[in-house]
Amino acid sequence: MSMNIALKKKFRKILLVKLNSSVIESVGFPRACRPPFLLKYAEAILTAKAGYEVKLIDCLICPQKIDALIASTIKWSPDVLVISGTTIDSSLFQQYPRMVKERIDALVIGVGQGITAIPTEYLSLDSAVDLTLPGEAEEELVGLIEMLNTDGSIKKVLDNYRAKAEGPFLVEDLNRLPFPAYDIKELKRYRFIYPIAKAKKLVWGHILSSRGCPYSCIFCSQMTRESYGAKVRLRSAVNIVDEIECLTARGANIISFDDDNFTTVREHVLAICEEIRRRHLKIDWITHARVDNMSAELLRAMKQAGCVLIRFGIESGSQRIVDILGKTKYKDWVSLCEGVFSKARENKIPTAALFQIGCPSETEKEIWQSIELAKKLKPDIIQVSYFIPYPGSSAYLEIKDKINQSVFSQMYHYNAPPVNFSKLEMEELKSMFKLFYKKFILSPSFIISHFFKYAMFYLYNLDVLFELLKIRKHFQKWTEPLKL
């Protein structure tokens, strides 16, 4: 920490920055744009307090080169620079604050997914990060800034927080958090890319109705989650639907529940659905759910309350792989999935099926089982990714000492991994990734049904169509036979 920072009396200008990795950009795979919830909540808390000037830069929806980001940061000259990023951004996480602190005196605080997964990597001797706050740190961040402005000893305050920050922070009472604020430009940029059977231009609102996930999938990591910890914490249905009304008043016409798992607590979902119906809200919404949480009653309630898409993590059509992944206790996974997707169709709820390939010891035959399961489930869309043992996952703990750590900064689940954990050769694995999409998307039944169901959606949402067409760059040619 520089001497000038230590002498500062007030920390009033707060810059919140969400980094965007060049690795992800270079892959160019279609992806959704979700808000950085931690930063948005911190922005809302600070803005509600007197005396603070707060600015948020999300490089995901406002991409800029590192030089431009550094220049704009120096020009604004914050007292506190709060940076959020993933392990894929680790080199940028080091370079950016170092270049900024060469020109201005700013306290640099690291938060978010990468910090939570491997906090010690961000506090090396040559790091420009002064403090890390892992986990759900929005309230802690604000508390720290306020303490800096009231306590005479900056070093004492930071030392106290370093001692507290050994484990991830968790927000216990979610209802006390203010609603994140969005202007209409943000709402239009934070969007999903799943087709929705609606003839209108979609403007998305994003909500976390709960935090925490009690399940123990070996691939689960802070890198892919929106909250932290196994303990499930719930917002009240009234609080959630109040936020829905707030978002619709600002222009949103569809809601995404971005919980790590929306259906963990059945009563929670039923209460939200009942509150939506009680207020006679006509709002479309989507969510992510687990197959082994679903029931006919839950699906009916969700449909009646406006659910227009459920994303299910299927992962694999092989029971052996599902068991290795620690996905579920159920021993007839394929039958369970088929039953739930059939019930979703009965309730006229569209579905997305999410699969992984390249799982530990996975064979070509087992990937074919996943392809065949995708066909049987008949989802409205599929999403295929590579198995990645991101830092923070239990799979990562098993291999982290066996693989060069620099490899993990290049790992992204839509890009062929630098380390192959399956039984296939790397080129075979990449070919199977392409084949998975081809076998599903190019089947005549899918093309016909998808066109008639979603043609009007694409007409109103050409940006989504163009984003989805990026998948094509990952294939050599759509009609070129693959050598397997």
Residue 365's contacts (CB-CB under 8 Å, 6 or more residues apart) are none
- Structure tokens, 242: 């109040």
Q: What are phi and psi of 52, to 5 degrees?
A: -110, 140
Q: What are the tokens at 128?
A: 């420009």
Q: Which residue type does 374 have?
A: A
Furthest CA-CA distance within the chain: 71
Is the separation of the CB atoms in 362 and 256 below 8 Å? no
Q: Which residues 6+ apart lie within 8 Å of 211 measured at CB?
A: 136, 170, 171, 174, 226, 227, 228, 229, 232, 233, 259, 260
**Averaged pLDDT score across all residues of the chain:** 91
- The letter for the amino acid at 151 is D
Q: Which domains does the chain have, with CATH numbers?
A: 3-164 (3.40.50.280), 185-474 (3.80.30.20)
Interhelix angle for 444-460 vs 426-441, to 10°?
80
Q: Provide the pLDDT for residue 333.
A: 98
Which residue ranges in the chain fall short of pLDDT 70? Answer: 1-9, 124-125, 152, 165-166, 471-484
The C-alpha angle 78, 83, 84, rounded to 5 degrees, equals: 155
User: Are 113 and 226 in contact, with CB atoms under 8 Å apart?
Assistant: no
Q: How far is CA 262 from the centre of its chain?
A: 14
